[in-house]
């Protein structure tokens, strides 16, 4: 299997001017609602796909969404499937116009770093790619706030994944072209079709700012779409006592955190609690795992005792708990840090 290197937090983030920026609180950068609402992915092919409707009793409600292309609908027991890009072009970092605070998904395979800007992922949500000859799929769900990267090889076959226009718990569904199975992004498994209950192999990645990623990997390549500008994708920041109701149509970090599943146990670490805890190191699972939080990069991940990234998921708290309602939620102000639900 290809090697995926763990990330190391820097002492500060290098800005575009070359000055060091010290770690701080979540920046108050607003995102246009246009970005979160999705936009058309050009002439992407639309085909009839399989339906996950038979899973309703097990996994909860499945509904349709109108992104990234408008007009999506479920017809009978089939959902529409939008063809995802296949190995889009990449350029060196210096050749792609980026701002430090816009968001990217970054991964490293066999020493080869690649950044996938959310300005482009928001157009399609699923991208098939190959990094250091390893077939990978990059996925992004704006509604759940989740980005995840997987090996495209399932069993003895390399799969091609596409974007399914239905949602489960307001979370992304993927469809593989070869078997027509439907895959749920957050639980990382097929929920219907011939490969039902098969799991995807996760490639550790990080959902972070461009400034943080480039400070770690100055030789990174960047995915681009030749005919799309995209829109710089940022977090918004709201004061705790002034959170809008209903929820805002922006990518808001006030309910964002990192979740992890180990066997029958699951945990969720809200960013707001990690912000209060820093710079303390947070260990859990009897000391076998630790959370790494980088305020300036607006991200968090989980490492094992040897500093290797393990499979964890940045997500909105509501999205995580929809799949893992029994998760232990970290509270910095609590004496045991994992109080019982409702306390």
Per-residue pLDDT of 149-179, as tens digits, reads 999 999 889 999 999 888 888 789 999 999 8
Share of the chain above pLDDT 70, in %: 71
Average pLDDT over residues 185-191: 92
In the predicted structure, residue 294 carries a pLDDT above the cut 50: yes
In the predicted structure, residue 234 carries a pLDDT above the cut 60: yes
pLDDT value of residue 335: 74
CA distance readout (Å), 303 to 146, 207, 298, 308: 19, 15, 17, 5
In the predicted structure, residue 189 carries a pLDDT above the cut 50: yes
Identify the band that residue 1 occupies on the pLDDT scale cut at 50, 70 and 90. Answer: very low
| pLDDT digit string, tens, across residues 26-81 | 333 323 222 333 333 334 455 556 665 555 444 444 554 544 444 444 444 567 78
In the predicted structure, residue 21 carries a pLDDT above the cut 50: no
Residue 227 CA to residue 253 CA, distance in Å, equals 30
Average pLDDT over residues 175-202: 91
Which residues 6+ apart lie within 8 Å of 73 measured at CB? 64, 80, 165
pLDDT value of residue 203: 94
pLDDT value of residue 279: 80
pTM: 0.80
Q: In whole angstroms, what separates CA 169 from the centre of its chain? A: 15
Residue 260 CA to residue 244 CA, distance in Å, equals 28
Average pLDDT taken over every residue of the chain: 77
In the predicted structure, residue 284 carries a pLDDT above the cut 80: yes
Contact 228, 122 (CB under 8 A): no
pLDDT value of residue 193: 85
């Amino acid at each position: 299997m290809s090697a995926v290197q763990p990330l190391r937090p820097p002492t500060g983030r290098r800005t575009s001017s070359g000055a060091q920026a010290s770690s701080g609180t979540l920046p108050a950068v607003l995102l246009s609602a246009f970005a979160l609402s999705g936009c058309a992915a050009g002439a992407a092919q639309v085909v009839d796909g399989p339906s996950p409707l038979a899973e309703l009793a097990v996994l909860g409600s499945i509904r349709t969404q109108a992104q990234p292309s408008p007009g999506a609908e479920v017809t009978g027991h089939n959902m529409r499937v939008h063809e995802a890009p296949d190995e889009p072009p990449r350029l060196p970092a210096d050749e792609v116009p980026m701002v430090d605070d816009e968001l990217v998904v970054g991964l490293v395979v066999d020493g080869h770093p690649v950044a996938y800007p959310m300005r482009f992922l928001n157009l399609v949500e699923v991208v098939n790619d190959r990094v250091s000859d390893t077939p990978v799929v990059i996925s992004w769900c704006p509604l759940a706030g989740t980005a995840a990267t997987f090996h495209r090889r399932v069993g003895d076959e390399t799969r091609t994944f596409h974007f399914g226009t239905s949602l489960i718990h307001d979370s992304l569904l993927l469809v593989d072209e070869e078997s027509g199975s439907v895959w749920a992004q957050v639980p990382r498994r097929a929920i219907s079709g011939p490969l039902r209950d098969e799991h995807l192999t996760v490639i550790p990645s990080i959902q972070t700012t461009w400034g943080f990623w480039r400070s770690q990997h100055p030789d990174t390549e960047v995915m681009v779409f030749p005919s799309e500008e995209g829109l710089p994708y940022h977090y918004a920041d709201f004061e705790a006592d002034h959170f809008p109701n209903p929820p805002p149509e922006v990518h808001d970090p006030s309910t964002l955190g990192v979740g992890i599943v180990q066997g029958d146990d699951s945990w969720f670490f809200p960013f707001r609690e990690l912000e209060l805890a820093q710079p303390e190191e947070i260990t859990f699972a009897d000391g076998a795992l630790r959370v790494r939080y980088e305020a300036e990069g607006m991200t968090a991940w989980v490492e094992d005792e040897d500093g290797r990234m393990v499979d964890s998921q940045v997500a909105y708290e509501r999205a995580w708990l929809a799949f893992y309602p029994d998760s232990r939620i970290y509270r910095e102000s609590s004496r045991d840090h994992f109080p019982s639900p409702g306390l």
